[in-house]
Amino acid sequence: MQTFTQTMLPTLLAGISAGGQYALIALGYTMVYGILRLINFAHGDIFTVAGFVMFYAITVMPVYLAIPFTIFVTVLLGFTVERLAYKPLRSAPRMSVMISAIGVSYLLQNLMWYITGGQPQQYPVIPWISDKVVILGQETKRVTVITPILTVVLILILLLLIKRTKIGLAMRAASRDFETARLMGVKINGVISMTFVIGSFLAAVGSFLFFSNYSTVSPTVGTMPGLKAFVAAVFGGIGSIPGAVVGGFIIGICENIIRALGYSTFSDAFTFALLILVLCLKPTGLFGEKLEEKV
C-alpha cells in the first residue's frame, strides 16, 4: 500500500489529469470531424493562442476577468478561423480544406512567433488551482485533481446540450448526413459555427489546466498535445464524443505510466504507435461508425 501511494498514485493522478486535458482538446477535433469530416490541424494552435492570451491578459486585468476574457478571445478566434478559412471551401474537395487547416496552423504559429518574439513565456499562476494540495500523503497541484472532475462535468453538459437542445439535434443531423440536413432546413453554417465555438471553448478551458501544469508557453507548444488529442479522438472513434473522452484518458494514463517506467523518450512514439495500431485493426476506433462508398 505504501509503495502504491508513493509510486503509482502520482503517476495515475498525472495520467488522469493529462488525460482530461487531452479529452477537452480531443472534443474539438472530434466534433469538427463529425460534421465537416475535417482534421482541424489548427486546433492545437488555437489551444496555444489561448495560453498566450491568458499570459498577456493577466498583466492588465485581474484573474477573474482574465479567464472569461481568454475564453472569449479563443472562441472568437475559433469562430473567425472557420468563417475565413473553412467556409469558403465548403464545396471543395476534403483535401483542400485539410490543406487550409494546415495553412491556418502555419499562420497562427508564425503570428505567435512574431508577437512574442519566439521566446517561451512563463504562464501566470492562477490562484487556487495552482495551489498545492496533499492527497494520500502525496503533494500535488490542485489542478491535477480538478482536471478530471471539470472534464467530466463539462462533458456531461455537452452531452446534455447535444441530446436535449435544438442546436444539438441539428448537430446530430448534420453529422449524420450533411446534405440532407441542409435540405431539411438545418442552418448548416450556424451549426458549424456552434461546433467551432464549443470546441474552442473547451480548448480554452483545457489550456488553463494544461499550462498551469506545464508552466511555459511557446508558439509550437500546442502541436504535440494537439496531435495527441487528435490521436485520442481517433482512438475513441472519430466523431464520437464519449470516444474522445475515453481515448483522452487512456492516452494520458498510458503515457504517464510509460514515463514512470523510465521510457519517457518513447511516450510520444507510444501514442502514435497506438494510433497506427488502432487504425490498422479497427479504423473506426472504439465507438466510431463505418462508412462505405457505393459502387
Residues of this chain that bind other proteins (CB under 8 A): 37-39, 84-85, 88-89, 92, 94-96, 98-100, 102-107, 109-111, 113-115, 117-118, 220, 223, 227, 230-231, 234, 265-266, 268-269, 271-273, 275-276, 279-280, 283, 293, 295
**6 vs 110, which CB is nearer to other proteins?**
110
Q: How far apart are CB 185 and other proteins at their closest, in Å?
A: 28
Q: How far apart are CB 74 and other proteins at their closest, in Å?
A: 20
Question: C-alpha grid cell for residue 272?
Answer: 502514435
How far apart CA 281 and CA 169 sit, in angstroms, is: 32
Measured at the alpha carbon of residue 172, what is the angle toward residues 167 and 175, in degrees to the nearest 5?
Answer: 120
The closest of 249, 293, 199 to 16, measured between CA atoms, is 249
Q: How far apart are CB 104 and other proteins at their closest, in Å?
A: 7
Alpha helices in the chain (DSSP H): 2-3, 9-36, 43-60, 63-81, 94-116, 142-164, 166-176, 178-183, 188-214, 223-236, 241-260, 267-281
Q: How many CB atoms lie within 10 A of CB 129?
A: 19
**137 vs 262, which CB is nearer to other proteins?**
262
**10 vs 285, which CB is nearer to other proteins?**
285
Largest Cα separation within the chain, whole Å, is 62
The answer to whether 211 and 29 have CB atoms below 8 angstroms apart is no
Q: How far apart are CB 27 and other proteins at their closest, in Å?
A: 17
**43 vs 170, which CB is nearer to other proteins?**
43
Q: How far apart are CB 264 and other proteins at their closest, in Å?
A: 10
**116 vs 138, which CB is nearer to other proteins?**
116
